[in-house]
Amino acid sequence: MGLRGTKVPHKKNTAALASEALPTPPVVTIPMSMHIGKPAKPVVKRGDEVKVGQLIGAPDGFFSMKIHSSVSGKVKAIDELTMMNGMKVQTVVIESDGLQEKSDEVKPPVVSDFDSFVEAVKNSGVVGLGGAGFPSFIKLGVKELTRIDAVVINAAECEPYITSDTRTIIEKSEYLAKGIEAVRKFMGVQRFVLGIEDNKTEAIEKLRADFASTDGVEIRVLPSMYPQGGEKVLVYHTLGRMIPRGELPIDVGVIVINVTTLAFIGEYLETGMPLTEKCVTVDGSAIETPKNLNVPIGTPIQNLLDFCKTKAEPAKILYGGPMMGLAVPSADNPVLKQTNAIVAMDEKEAKPPKTTPCINCGRCLNHCPLKLDPRAIARAYKLGEAADLDRLCVDICMECGCCSYVCPAKRPLVQTNKLAKAMLRKYLREKEDKK
């Protein structure tokens, strides 16, 4: 039997729209942190001339990333920006000359074995493009390759509005094939399972046609049920394996990779152009003409809104979809590497619903894919009972939002779970320290 979840509105208004190029913005603001790990260090200074694909941020240690210029032009400033989590991060602000000249550094990589493949992935600057931003070279750079018997390609795209993965499949399926071939050749994995929700008919047809004769690639069409694209959910629904608490997909012999990430790796191996441009779905109730746009990374969100026109003043803007997306503080914030959508909501759509008392209906736990009990978690959190939170396994919560979505009392359950997770982490750390 499948895991629990909920039906959310699809609103895939842009699924059939070919992606368009956004005109090069006059200024881009490129943060040094668009990944999980240490921020990169700027290697350019004010006044430097830069070109597209040129390194502007070097990794600070192993768990960090390379960052490249998305435009050609002149570095205007090394500045600072407040990110969604409230952290300040350095940015490189570049004034574009509009020419989009390619840097001499851009050359197709020479890849001959596993190590050079991982090195190439590292040099491409790619991170998990499904939204997580985890450095791909770390994910793919596994020590014991023999542990992996399958790669799960995440093309579920279960969030409302977002269609950028769908468009990538339709428009760049040859690069996806190249990415798959590279992983097969250099990592020795023979089985690829691509999970996609059944509401993406055009993409499914394309995949079936293009991969019909490719051995070892399974196209698995899954019901459109949120959160089908959650890592644990997808691995369970494609391979029947449950990733244990506190462990990673690799512990059940799997690597999960987003379809756009893998297609980008395929593209990079051919062109050598690092991650400087992103396909972004622009939609939401405040947007007049929703589109998929190919956008230089660092482009202010406002430029995307202007290009797609707004029919109402945006009251809330999200990086990502409405279920798990992050509210951005300002429309001046830039498009990041891992941004797959910009959702701009009008006043009505953005208005948070009124919270009323919990009626104990149990909808939250009956819809939780991981069978957590948000009511009990909320109680334990309120009472400060960290040991109970441990027993209730709040740490495995993936914050998919099903509980909050189905709650008739509109309780902020995800928010409570996040706070409870932090409380549990602190408790476990202190317990560890005492030993």
Partner 1 sequence: MKKLMSSVSPHFHGAITTQKIMLDVIIALMPALIASNIIFGLRALLVEAVCVAVCVLSEWGFEKICKKEVTVSDLSAVVTGLLLAFNLPVGIPLWQAAFGSIVAIVVVKQLFGGIGQNFANPAATARIIMMTAFSGTMTTWVFPDGVSSATPLAIMAKGEGDLPTYLQMFLGYRGGCLGETCVLALLLGGIYLIARRVITWHAPVAFIATVALMSLICGKDVGYQLMSGGLMIAAFFMITDYSSTPAENIGKLVFGVGCGLITILIRFWGNYPEGVSYSILIMNILTPYISRLTRAKPLVGGGK
Binding residues vs partner 1 (CB under 8 A): 3, 6, 8-9, 160, 232, 242-245, 247, 252, 313-318, 322-331, 343, 345, 350, 352-353, 356-363, 365-366, 369-373, 375, 392-393, 396, 399, 401, 404-410, 412, 414-415, 418
Distance CA 83, CA 125 (A): 20
According to DSSP, residue 45 is labeled -
Give min distance, CB of 24 to partner 1, in A.
Answer: 23
Give min distance, CB of 365 to partner 1, in A.
Answer: 6
According to DSSP, residue 354 is labeled P
Give min distance, CB of 418 to partner 1, in A.
Answer: 7
Q: Whose Cβ is closer to partner 1: residue 43's or residue 358's?
A: 358
**Residue 206 phi, psi (nearest 5):** -60, -45
Largest interatomic CA distance in the chain: 63
Residue 219 DSSP SS3 = strand
Q: Whose Cβ is closer to partner 1: residue 210's or residue 399's?
A: 399
Cβ atoms of 203 and 156 within 8 Å: the answer is no
**Residue 345 phi, psi (nearest 5):** -105, 140
Give min distance, CB of 244 to partner 1, in A.
Answer: 3
Please list the residues that pair with 10 across neighbouring strands: none
Structure tokens at 122: 């590292």
Give min distance, CB of 75 to partner 1, in A.
Answer: 27
Give min distance, CB of 350 to partner 1, in A.
Answer: 5
Compute CA distances 358 → 106, 409, 411, 435, whole Å: 57, 6, 7, 39
Give min distance, CB of 200 to partner 1, in A.
Answer: 20
Q: Whose Cβ is closer to partner 1: residue 43's or residue 315's?
A: 315
Q: Whose Cβ is closer to partner 1: residue 161's or residue 264's?
A: 161
Outline where DSSP puts E strands in 270-412.
277-283, 291-296, 316-319, 326-327, 341-345
Q: Whose Cβ is closer to partner 1: residue 201's or residue 330's?
A: 330
Q: Whose Cβ is closer to partner 1: residue 67's or residue 394's?
A: 394
Cβ atoms of 60 and 42 within 8 Å: the answer is no
Give min distance, CB of 110 to partner 1, in A.
Answer: 40
Residue closest to 135 by CA, chosen among 42, 66, 207, 43: 66
Q: Whose Cβ is closer to partner 1: residue 61's or residue 352's?
A: 352
Residue closest to 334 by CA, chosen among 146, 134, 96: 96
Across the beta sheet with 67-68, the strand order is 41-42, 55-58, 67-68
Q: Whose Cβ is closer to partner 1: residue 269's or residue 377's?
A: 377
Give min distance, CB of 53 to partner 1, in A.
Answer: 32
Q: Whose Cβ is closer to partner 1: residue 55's or residue 372's?
A: 372
Judge if the upstream peptide bond of residue 223 is cis by omega within 30 degrees of 0.
no
Q: Whose Cβ is closer to partner 1: residue 277's or residue 346's?
A: 346
By residue count, the chain amounts to: 435
Give min distance, CB of 183 to partner 1, in A.
Answer: 25
Distance CA 283, CA 290 (A): 5
Residue closest to 285 by CA, chosen among 331, 352, 339, 348: 348
Cβ atoms of 49 and 320 within 8 Å: the answer is no
Cβ atoms of 54 and 68 within 8 Å: the answer is yes
